[in-house]
Amino acid sequence: MVLSAAVLGTVPDMGLAQQVEDNVVTNAKDAFGQTVGNERIGLYTNEDVRGFSPVDAGNARIEGLYFAPVDRLPNRLIRGSRVRVGIAAQGYPFPAPTGIVDFDLSAAAAAGQFTILLERGQFGSLVASIDSNVELVDGLRAYAGGTIRRQNRHEGGDYKSWIASGGLGWQPYDGASVVAFWGKTRTYDDEAAPALFPGGDYLPPRIERRETIGQSWSKRDNSQEVYGALAKLPLGDWQLDAGLFRAERRVDANYTDLFANLRPDGTVANRVMVVDGNNRDRTLSGELRVSRVFADGPLAHRLTASLRGRTGDRRFGGVQRISLGPSTLAFADERPRPVIALGVDDTDESEQGSIGLAYSLTRPGRFLVDAAIAASRYRKTIDFVSAGLVTATRDTPVTGSLTGTYTVTPSLSFYGGWMRGFEEIAAAPQNAVNRGTIPPAIRTSQIDLGLRYALTGNLSLVAGVFRIRKPYYNLDNDLLYRELGSSSNSGAEVSLAGSLRPGLTMVLGTVLLDPRISGELVDEGAIGPRPVGSIRRRSIANLDWRLDGGRSPLSFDLAFESLSARIGNPANSLSAPPRETLDLGMRYRFSVGSTRALLRVQLANVFNDYGWQVASNGAFLYSTSRRVLAEVRVDL
């Protein structure tokens, strides 16, 4: 059983609270992306892999099975995740361009844990959480978890949220697992922070952190519910895996506070509040997979058949744009609450079904080859009710992959792969002459090549290159929404991870990106060749030093991140400056009677770096300030 109490600072609420010895740095095999409990490490996140979002691309999995999310999963529902990209995708069934994010369920964890988390976060934020996983009878366990949060945001304002989750895990026989789960989260009284769009080639003015400059009545309210079940059943040389998942997100109230054409002094000629609500987005998704493994002398074969499906049902639109007139960022420019009168909602329905076949050939210690092919049927229909317009598209894409690893020596191996996928993209916007037109599912592709070299038995270098290509859709000069060219991300990534000596572990990584847009708009000079929000480089360095050769109760850790300049507008004439942040921490392990405990303290953003983040739509948001994080964990 685990008791955990955070007494100062903000501990990111990302999943199941941790055991005393859990440590994402010492657990990481590479620098490409992993979460363990409430700690995260790596060059990539669940929303950004090699410059694209694997979740938006439909590449999310729950315990390895296909899943179509509508939002981030409720935090207590998951205990960690891993990004499957590059060498981490080798041997993974049905890999995909932009990588795969694979989530681990809290309900699938072993029994014997009870966790309480009490947190006093930044600016007086308060959080209370509980996680428990107990054995009911032999082979049957139950999970329950929940969180209550009042979070004061660094950009001003606050919000409240709660999370509840539960599940059952059953082991009918050795190696088999059946899990059913449910999770729900609600966030409310969430005051919208202004979205800043500079009107020229200059950055927004520096805003005092925690200064509330939003409208007190612009409080967002949304909820999400996810539930489902999965089974993993070994049957001799056969393996049966199946999962069915339901996800639903409701947005009862949403506000977007727009400071468009922001002047250098922080004023705008017209501040606009976009109000939306009564929206719903839900999916039903799942996968049935049958595999068989058989041997042929020194060779091992695996044949896998997969059936995947997804339905989507979305209610959106009916937005109201409210002009607030001239305004400023210099102070809280509070306005009276206007009358809210939303319009009629539009609807979006989609279906997708895929059947796939994969073959793997392995010679242990020598090579691994994986080949996969899948055929899909895809349909999407949007009903723009207010305009009396119904548009639809159908498609039958074929996707596939060929990946492999070749081991030259026990220390050196090479890997590579080619993948082809498909993704949905948005319908033509309201200002297009072909408003509502739905393009067919776009074809995407990825190639990568790299190597892994074991410098020692505990330290490995991974280096690779990659290229991802996608069609580029936008409005032409006649406001026709169509394919205007292509977007591509080429790059190189390097990871060095492992133990330098007993007690000293490091994870170092760098990704160099060359994101580009090509086509008519670039040729005409209407936009620049690089996407808004893109960067050219990201580097990380994580060190964990446990004294006395790893036997001391005391350890120190360091986390450093460096980002290159970030493109700030479509013309590429504005960039957010490069940023560097440094976090320092310590852990002290001790005993209370017969129990083990841990004191964890961290100073985040040591030098109080003030920088700008840029979203893909060009909105600017300033970075989080220096803060102290602390927690106590106790294993009972």
Lowest mean per-residue pLDDT among 225-239, 344-358, 562-576, 608-622: 608-622
Does the structure show a pLDDT above 60 at 7?
Answer: no
Report the pLDDT averaged over residues 443-468: 95
What is the domain count for the chain? Answer: 1
Quote the pLDDT of residue 555.
95
Residue 19: pLDDT band (50, 70, 90) is low
Does the structure show a pLDDT above 90 at 301?
Answer: yes
Tokens representing residue 41 in the block: 């490490």
Task: Report the Cα–Cα distance between both ends of the chain, in Å, rounded.
Answer: 4
Beta strands in 109-237 (DSSP E): 113-120, 126-137, 140-152, 158-170, 177-191, 195-198, 219-235
The most distant pair of C-alpha atoms in the chain lies apart, rounded to whole Å, by 78
Report the pLDDT averaged over residues 337-357: 92
When computed from its CA atoms, the radius of gyration of the chain, rounded to whole angstroms, is 25
Distance of alpha carbon 486 from alpha carbon 507, whole angstroms? 34
Cα 207 vs. chain centroid, distance in angstroms?
A: 28
Distance of alpha carbon 37 from alpha carbon 281, whole angstroms? 28
Strand-pairing partners, residue 1, are: none
Domain membership of residue 355 (yes or no) is no
Report the pLDDT averaged over residues 291-296: 91
Report the pLDDT averaged over residues 126-146: 88
What is the sign of the dihedral through the CA atoms of 603, 608, 611 and 617?
positive
Compute how many other C-beta atoms are within 10 angstroms of the C-beta atom of residue 390.
Answer: 13
Between residues 594 and 89, the one the model is more confident about: 89
Q: Are 18 and 597 in contact (CB under 8 A)?
A: no
Residue 8: pLDDT band (50, 70, 90) is very low
User: Containing H/E element for 523?
Assistant: helix 520-523
Tokens 């739905």 belong to which residue? 438
Quote the pLDDT of residue 425.
79
DSSP output for 369-400: EEEEEEEEEEEEEEEEGGGTEEEEEEE--EEE
Q: What is the DSSP letter of 261?
A: E
Residue 636: pLDDT band (50, 70, 90) is low
Distance of alpha carbon 87 from alpha carbon 103, whole angstroms? 18
Residue 164: pLDDT band (50, 70, 90) is very high
Between residues 5 and 421, the one the model is more confident about: 421
Does the structure show a pLDDT above 70 at 420?
Answer: yes
- How far, in Å, are 20, 56, 105, 502 from residue 468 at the CA level? 40, 15, 30, 39
Does the structure show a pLDDT above 60 at 59?
Answer: yes
Tokens representing residue 622 in the block: 């300033």
Domain membership of residue 356 (yes or no) is no
Distance of alpha carbon 591 from alpha carbon 360, whole angstroms? 48
Tokens 């950004």 belong to which residue? 48
Residue 431: pLDDT band (50, 70, 90) is low
Domain membership of residue 357 (yes or no) is no
Distance of alpha carbon 97 from alpha carbon 86, whole angstroms? 10
DSSP output for 435-481: TT--PPPEEEEEEEEEEEEEEETTEEEEEEEEEEEEEEEEE-TT--E
Tokens 């400056």 belong to which residue? 577
Q: What percent of the chain has pLDDT above 70?
A: 95
Distance of alpha carbon 261 from alpha carbon 91, whole angstroms? 49
Distance of alpha carbon 14 from alpha carbon 27, whole angstroms? 17
Lowest mean per-residue pLDDT among 84-93, 123-132, 510-519, 520-529: 123-132
What's the mean pLDDT when you consider all of the chain?
Answer: 88
Quote the pLDDT of residue 470.
92
Does the structure show a pLDDT above 60 at 172?
Answer: yes
Quote the pLDDT of residue 110.
80
What are the tens digits of pLDDT across the range 235-285?
989 999 999 999 999 999 999 899 999 999 999 999 999 998 999 999 999
Instruction: Classify the phi-psi angles of 568: left when phi > 0, otherwise alpha if psi is within -120 to 50, otherwise beta.
Output: alpha
Residue 435: pLDDT band (50, 70, 90) is low
Between residues 483 and 229, the one the model is more confident about: 229
Quote the pLDDT of residue 37.
65
Domain membership of residue 295 (yes or no) is yes
Residue 436: pLDDT band (50, 70, 90) is low
Tokens 């044949």 belong to which residue? 303
Domain assignment of residue 511, given as a range: 2-350+362-635
Q: Are 258 and 272 in contact (CB under 8 A)?
A: yes
- Amino acid type, 374: A
Lowest mean per-residue pLDDT among 241-255, 324-338, 588-602: 588-602
581-613 residues labelled b (16+ CB within 10 A) or e (exposed): bbbebebebeeeeeebbbbbbbbbbeeeeebbe
User: Containing H/E element for 236?
Assistant: none
Tokens representing residue 630 in the block: 């602390």
Distance of alpha carbon 310 from alpha carbon 349, whole angstroms? 11
Tokens representing residue 367 in the block: 């090579």
What is the Cβ-side half-sphere exposure of residue 617, based on CA atoms within 13 angstroms?
8
- How far, in Å, are 89, 383, 413, 431, 450 from residue 405 at the CA level? 11, 47, 7, 49, 9
Q: Are 563 and 609 in contact (CB under 8 A)?
A: no
325-352 residues labelled b (16+ CB within 10 A) or e (exposed): eebbbeeebeeeeeeeeeeebbbbebbb
Q: Are 350 and 422 in contact (CB under 8 A)?
A: no
Report the pLDDT averaged over residues 287-302: 93
We report the CATH number of the domain holding residue 432 as: 2.40.170.20
Quote the pLDDT of residue 372.
96
Quote the pLDDT of residue 359.
96
Does the structure show a pLDDT above 50 at 402?
Answer: yes
Between residues 135 and 428, the one the model is more confident about: 135
Report the pLDDT averaged over residues 83-91: 88
Report the pLDDT averaged over residues 49-71: 91
Q: What is the pTM of this model?
A: 0.88
Report the pLDDT averaged over residues 535-557: 95
